[in-house]
Every structure is written in C-alpha cells, then in structure tokens.
Structure 1
C-alpha cells in the first residue's frame, strides 16, 4: 500500500528523469525528500495561484498565436513590462515595473490591447483592476487610446456583473469583458436551487450583461480582433 502523501506517478516521472540523466537509479530517501520539496513548492498557496494564472495566460496566448487573423495583424506578448510596449513611459524613480498579463499590438495601426487574464475574480482582484487601469493610464505617453480587456472563467454572478460595471469616473474601465464560455454560468444560474436570494440580484445583472453583449464569449472576442 502507498504511504500517506505518496505519489507513485510523480515518483516515477522524477526517478526516470534522474536515471536517464545520471545513468543510475536514485536512492529512495533522495527521491522521497525531493518529492516533499517539489510538493511544498507547488502546494504553496501563492505558487498554486501563480501556476493557474500563468497557465491561463500561456494558453490564451497559444490560442491567439494559432488564430490566423491575430497572427497576421498583431504582435502577441505574454507578461511584458508595460514600458516595453509602444506608447508607455518607463517607471519613474524607484517605482516598480508594471507588467501586463497579455498584450496585443496591431502592427499596422499601433493600437494596443492590454489583457487582464484571470481564471477567477477574487475580491482583491477587483481592487487590482482599478489600480492597474490607473497605472496604465498615467504611464500612457502617446496620447492615444488603448483597450483594456478582462478575460476570465469566473462563475460567481456578482463578480462577473461587477467586472462589467467597474467604472473610472463616468467610463467603464474594461473595453470588453470576456468569459471563456458564457453558456456555462448561464446554465448554472438557470438550474433549480442555483443560489440564495442574496445571489439573485447578481445573477439578474450578469444575465443582463450577457444578453446585451457586454459580457461576451471568447469566440466573439477573437472574431472582433479579426475585424
């Protein structure tokens, strides 16, 4: 029987990799200690979130690089520094370098699309959206507009609705709010006993944004990029 926390599949992968590289089978104690360290690193809460987040960003970039219209028209950059994109200032003094999850730059027009890729939208991220938008706006140097797009797979109706309604002054901060597949949350909200009365208002708002096109599908966003 396996020991507690034993992962035979991971152990086999690591053992095979070490043996093929060094030419001899590693000791069991060495493998056990190495697996504990690997699991500790991956299992750390922030590391886990980073793995999911960066995996989502890389997957979205991979799809864009396989979509012929975007490949033809855009430079697609994953996690670039903001000042490495055309039309943005470098950070001033000791200010921290600002990064973007994903950026698309139209080769013909120079138009910039800054994408916030969030598999889920926690409450702290709702604050981060405004902070990022303010930073992008203050560091814009060309005097030209840019798109700020949210791509998410969030299912919580209130958070989806809030993302659609998030404003700076009298303007919505997101040019577009994109869900991987809006049919998923739409079906979930329509299911019997799908939520409490407290959630009903969020569901109604989110469904309204889907109906108006404010909350759109990944497919529709891709098609807009090819227009």
Structure 2
C-alpha cells in the first residue's frame, strides 16, 4: 500500500477517534448540566425539606439547613470549608481557625468531628447521584452506536473513550507493590474513570454555592415566612420587579440574585457564599443602578447575605457608605455564632471589629434577618 494511502487512513482514523471523544465529552457535559441545573436543584431542595421534620423551616434552624445542604469538606484539610484552601493548610493561622469552625459545627449539628462529612454537602451528593444515573442511561443509549463505530478497528488496540494512560501509570506505580494480583484492565479503567469524574465534579461545586445558594435562600425565606404576604424571586431582571424601570437602550440589564416583594417594602438581595475582591466593587455599582432605575419614589432595602469568613471583607461590607448612610440595609451572615467560634481567641483587630459589629447588630445572623422579615 502506498505511503500516502497509509498516512491518509491513519489521519482519518485519528479524526474518527477524536470526534468520538468529543461526542462523549459533550454527552457528559449535558448530563452534568442537567444534574446540576436549576430544575434539578429545585427538585432536590424540595425533596430535602419533604424528607425532614422541619418542613416549614423555623428561623432558628435556617443556618443548619444552609450548612447541611451546601457546606462541604475541604479535600486538602479534611475539615469543613470556611476559608480559601491554600490559606487554610496545616501550620497557617487559618488551619487553626478551620479546626475551631469544624469543632463548633460538629457540636452544633450534634455529631462527631469524624462524622461531620456525612451530615453536610447534601445537595452536591444528591446531584452527583443523579448525574451517575443520567450518565448510565445515556451510556446505554449510545452503546450500540459506539460498538458500530469502533467495529472496523476491532482488535487493533484502539484507546477506549475516557482512557488516561498518564493517570493510569501514576495509580499503578503507587499501588503496584501492595497488590498481590494485578486487577484486570477493565478494573483499572473503571477506577481511572471514577477518579476523573470525581475531579470534574468538584469543579461543579461552584454552581451550588453560586446559583444553588440563591435557590436555597429563596426556599428558606418562602418556608420561614409562609404566613407573610411576600413574593420571593431568584435571579430576576431588575425591570421585572415592581417599581423599577427597564435599562436604557444598549445598557446591559441587571439581574438581582434574590428579590423579596412585600406590600410595604421591596428587598433586593445580593447573595454571595464568599466574596471576591472584584465583586466588592460590583456591589456599589449595582446599588447605583438600582437607585437610578427606581420608579415609584419609594425606599427599598439592599441586603447582603453571605457565608464569608474573611474579617476584612465583612468589615468593608458593614462600613460601606452610600451618600453618608450604610449602603447595605442589613449585612447578614449565615451564622454569626460560627464567626465568633472561628475567631475565638484571636487578637487581630479586624476580627475583634467583626465581633463588635455582631454585638451592635450591624452584622446579623440569618435567623435574625428571617425574624425581621416575618414581623415586618
């Protein structure tokens, strides 16, 4: 066979294999999107409350529901996550604080430090279960087509979809001397796929502490304040909230994380599990846009809800002014008790300042804010 023909056939085979891998990646991406998407999140959150005893969600227990649903264990420390992983490693100040937070949370949820991992991260774990089921269903659907596509190359040692020779080598080298009998290739392959899926799924967690945080807060407000005449809306355009004009031509429309509409007040909530430096500047810009768009000539509340543990970021949120008045009507932390426990014994001025804000009522707990909504 001429060299040109062989080269041409090899190129064609590479293209087919590449397309096959791309199709598999696209299928997996669709499955992940479905499992972690808004519709499935809403279904899972409703299931969580339906399976529990506190279906109405008492304000005093709201923090626990948030942590059970969304909080997770940091892979590198083995502790409940409360601060950036790279700054919470053993030997660093935030490792000691992470230990204090883990201890407080274990006691508060009535479990042991070793068992805490089984009492939190509910939403992520259930979403991954749904993902596994979805991937299996899709795999069954495409199995026949895949066999047909690979049939012309049978017996030639073509890589299977999802193979990762480098990762396989790392795992084999680490375990080889401990294994009496080497596992079959299909067992290695299944292990590699599970490792890759695990690492991929961790990257999806940001969806749950982003939009998922908004969804959880919205559901908690609805259930806690079910006796109050209020309308709770997550991720709505500002113009769809009563009393706010649409943006001017060529201006990007504003989307509000959470809007709570009551007969006497409109509350616009920015909900951020944690705060990046660039987001702090956006808070003021958003508030300015809200003020400009307000059309009823009536006041509205601007509330910040977070699980941030960095004292400097919390301090800036509490102190931020707009026209000589606090920009945020309320700065709300999921658990101010958790903050106090984590900061306990610290001599850092910023942490002492946060405790002062808590004691003065400038920084309030989720429980306190929900109580205010109930009585307003």
Q: TM-score, normalised by structure 2?
A: 0.49
Q: Secondary structure at the match of 2:209?
A: helix
Structure 1 position 216 matched with structure 2 position 336: no
CA gap of 1:26–1:215, structure 2 versus 1, over 3 A, is farther
Distance 1:56 1:118 in 2: 8
Q: Secondary structure at the match of 2:354?
A: helix
CA gap of 1:138–1:38, structure 2 versus 1, over 3 A, is farther
Aligned to 2:37: none
Aligned to 2:269: 115
Distance 1:96 1:41 in 2: 32
Aligned to 2:281: 127
Quote how far apart the aligned CAs of 1:31 are: 6.2
CA gap of 1:178–1:37, structure 2 versus 1, over 3 A, is same
Distance 2:331 2:237 in 1: 22
Structure 1 position 168 matched with structure 2 position 288: no
Distance 2:235 2:252 in 1: 15
Aligned to 2:228: 72
Count of residue pairs the alignment pairs up: 206
Distance 1:187 1:114 in 2: 30
Distance 2:244 2:283 in 1: 18
Distance 1:26 1:211 in 2: 65
Quote how far apart the aligned CAs of 1:201 are: 2.0
For 1:17-96, what aligned pairs fall within 5 Å after superposition?
17-18=137-138, 22=141, 29-30=160-161, 43=203, 49-67=206-224, 69-70=225-226, 72-96=228-252
Distance 1:26 1:167 in 2: 62
**Structure ranking higher in helix proportion:** 2
Quote how far apart the aligned CAs of 1:24 are: 5.6
* Structure 1 counterpart of 2:334, from 147, 166, 180: 180
**Structure ranking higher in strand proportion:** 1
Aligned to 1:6: none
Q: Secondary structure at the match of 1:226?
A: helix
User: Cα deviation per residue 1:19-75 (whole Å; 9 max; x = unaligned)?
Assistant: 56x3968869456699979976973xxx754442111101111111212x3463111
CA gap of 1:207–1:30, structure 2 versus 1, over 3 A, is same
Q: Secondary structure at the match of 2:236?
A: coil
Q: Radius of gyration: which is bigger?
A: 2
Structure 1 position 206 matched with structure 2 position 354: yes
- Give structure 1 stretches of 5+ with no counterpart: 1-8
Structure 1 position 137 matched with structure 2 position 285: no
Aligned to 2:73: none
Contact 1:64–1:71 at 8 Å: present in 2 too? no
Distance 1:96 1:42 in 2: 31
Q: Secondary structure at the match of 2:256?
A: coil
- Give structure 2 stretches of 5+ with no counterpart: 1-127, 148-159, 165-192
Q: TM-score, normalised by structure 1?
A: 0.79
